[in-house]
A and B are shown apart, each in its own frame.
Chain A
Amino acid sequence: MKTRFSLGQLAVWGLVAVVIALPPLVKNNYQIFVVTLIGLYTMLTVGLSLVMGFAGQVSLGHATFYGIGAYAAALLSAMFGLPSWLALILATALTGLIGFFIGIPIFRLRGHYLAMATLGLNVIFSLIIKNEADITGGPSGFAHIPPLSVGGFVFDSDTKMYYIVWFMALATLFISMNVVNSRVGRALRAIHTSEVAAEALGVDANTYKLRVFALAAGFAGLSGALYAQAIHFISPSSFDILVSVELVTMTAIGGLASVWGSVFGAAAVVFLGQFIRDRMNELLEGASGEQEIIVFGLILVVIMVFMPEGVTAGGMKLLRRLRMER
């Protein structure tokens, strides 16, 4: 445990260095935006990793909280005229709170039933934002979301947004790393392996599930709010069930129970998604970019079968085996 912890710390500091150094090296604004997107997805993935990988509770509707954060930030600043920094904070807190309260009925369920319920949650959320067009803009989306500004400093360029997003992403990684390596993290892992045994030792399993779910929802809300403030326009398709599946794929690639694997998983899926969208019709006549979901599904299956601990852990194991054989 001690070694994994320091390895994780090392990974975080390495990541901090890369994050700071990257923008001057990349001149292309689009590429900066793509890396920003990875930061946003990292916040989602690391939360999902806490819920699924550590506490062992399947969530197939995590994009719901991403969406709640985005729409909350949009509504609070564009409709209610709150300053955007306040909208960001409130949207984050609100999403965490909603996660907590949604968790109360949902965590009465276990295993497949829980997975179905979270799936249903995402479907319901999509329906609501599509149908309540007066408030959310419906299928055509919500436009003119003010950019983030703090004390007169406006985050109005891709590079500025990049820095604030990655600052927050690193904060969520830091928090998650600390939580995992603590009494709380041990309790979560105990619940994952044997809920009866954890309970018998005095761990209030239900409360821990609710709190970790709320924390992950809060991370997702923060990510969604930043997303809305980065591109100023949101629409239901960014938060539907397919996005939830992508998030699970990212978490699985990074290693379900791996905090810093989340960054890797998010990056892999974002880059892969770009690649597939650009090349899909070359590979398959008449295929559109949206069919990327087929590829993600396939990848998810392959990983679950061959590398259930994720590509990072699985890859290391493979390397070790190759070295042994030589």
Chain B
Amino acid sequence: MSDSILEARSIEKSFGGVMAVAGVDLTIRRGEIFALIGPNGAGKTTTFNLLSGTHALDRGAVNFDGHSITGLPSHRIAQLGLVRTFQNLQIFGSMSALENVMVGCHLRGRTGFVAASLRLPSVAAEERRIRAESLDYLEMVGLANRADDVAASLPFGKQRLVEIARALAAQPKLLMLDEPAAGLTRPETESLDDLICRIRDSGITVLLVEHDMNLVMGIAERVAVLHYGQKIADGTPAEIQADERVIGAYLGLDWDGARDYAFA
């Protein structure tokens, strides 16, 4: 088993004439929390979509856990153990919180059309098992008491937690969180910190795309910075905080003022 779980080599994507991602290399090591940061429009979410197969690559290659996932559809990538959440929530609103998480268990279920049609005994057994496991995942994010609530009726912060529980239910090797702190209150962000660390401690590698500098600098082991579709720096949080190009990218040319602002 190699040291890195994901390697992206010179990945590229353009929309119309705009180069959203222009030849980015990334290496994510097993068991770490890796953060991808950058100003608005830097190509963070696009990079994310390329890695998860939501968008097709124009050029470049991605290896995940010993497999080439270049050009694979996203359900195949998920099957290999790379599972993501979404910045603008993609919750299944009409389902209960529990059912949302049960969809997350999809890959570990076997019931197909025929078995389901006839409601074979194996179906009921699997259903019970998945229900119990899904409750455990809701418990992990602190939502066990809201299991039967319709997902759309939950407050925004809780919906985000449902999405994380749903992704965890797929038992990923690499969990990719797209701006998990966006729109959360201060206390919610703090408990999110804690949750992400617990996820890492359970053996899941985490890739974060994030705006919230405090969250990133507090928990990430390594950080990569994107600017105009290119990687301008990567390293430990301390190295990133000292990198003048990063500060410049965030706030223009006044290094000292920018640093104070960006990492306040």
Contacts and interface: CB of A to CB of B under 8 A. Distances in A.
B45 to A, nearest CB: 12
A203 B103 contact: yes
Contacts of A196: 54, 74, 86, 90
A101 to B, nearest CB: 17
B90 A202 contact: no
A78 B112 CA distance: 36
Contact of B92 (A1, A197, A199): A197
Given A202-B78, A205-B75, A194 B113 contact: no
B19 interface: no
B116 A182 contact: yes
Interface string B112-143: 11001111000100110010000000000000
Contacts of A185: 116
B183 interface: no
A290 interface: no
B234 to A, nearest CB: 25
Interface residues of B, number: 40
Contacts of B14: none
A108 B192 CA distance: 39
The size class of the interface chain A forms with chain B is: 20 to 34
A157 to B, nearest CB: 31
Nearest to A185: B116
Contact of A204 (B75, B96, B109): B75
B107 interface: yes
Nearest to B110: A183
A186 B99 contact: yes
Contacts of A202: 75, 78-79, 83, 106-107, 170
A200 B49 CA distance: 10
A189 B112 CA distance: 15
A84 B109 CA distance: 39
B95 A194 contact: no
B102 interface: yes
B75 A186 contact: no
Given A189-B94, A193-B93, A198 B116 contact: no
B166 A201 contact: yes
B116 A178 contact: yes
Contacts of B148: 1
Contacts of A179: 113, 116-117
Interface string A78-118: 00000000000000000000000000000000000000000
A16 interface: no
A193 B103 CA distance: 12
A308 B117 CA distance: 27
Query: Of A1, A178, A182, A185, which is in contact with the most chain B CB atoms at under 10 Å from its CB?
Result: A182
A199 B90 CA distance: 11
Nearest to B80: A202
A232 interface: no
A178 B118 contact: yes
B99 A183 contact: no
A201 B106 contact: yes
A175 B142 CA distance: 36
Interface in B67-92: 73-75, 78-79, 83-84, 86, 90-92
A51 interface: no
A190 interface: yes
Given A184-B111, A199-B74, A203-B75, A175 B117 contact: yes
Contacts of B54: 196, 199-200
B21 to A, nearest CB: 18
B117 A203 contact: no
B109 A215 contact: no
A211 interface: yes
A180 to B, nearest CB: 9
A187 interface: yes
Nearest to B112: A184
Contact of B73 (A175, A183, A199, A215): A199
B207 interface: no
A184 to B, nearest CB: 5
29 contacts: A1-B99, A175-B118, A178-B117, A182-B116, A183-B102, A183-B109, A183-B111, A183-B116, A183-B130, A184-B111, A184-B113, A186-B102, A190-B106, A193-B90, A193-B92, A193-B93, A194-B91, A199-B54, A199-B78, A200-B52, A200-B54, A200-B86, A201-B106, A201-B107, A201-B170, A202-B79, A202-B83, A204-B75, A211-B113
Interface of A: 1, 175, 178-179, 182-187, 189-190, 193-194, 196-205, 211-212, 215
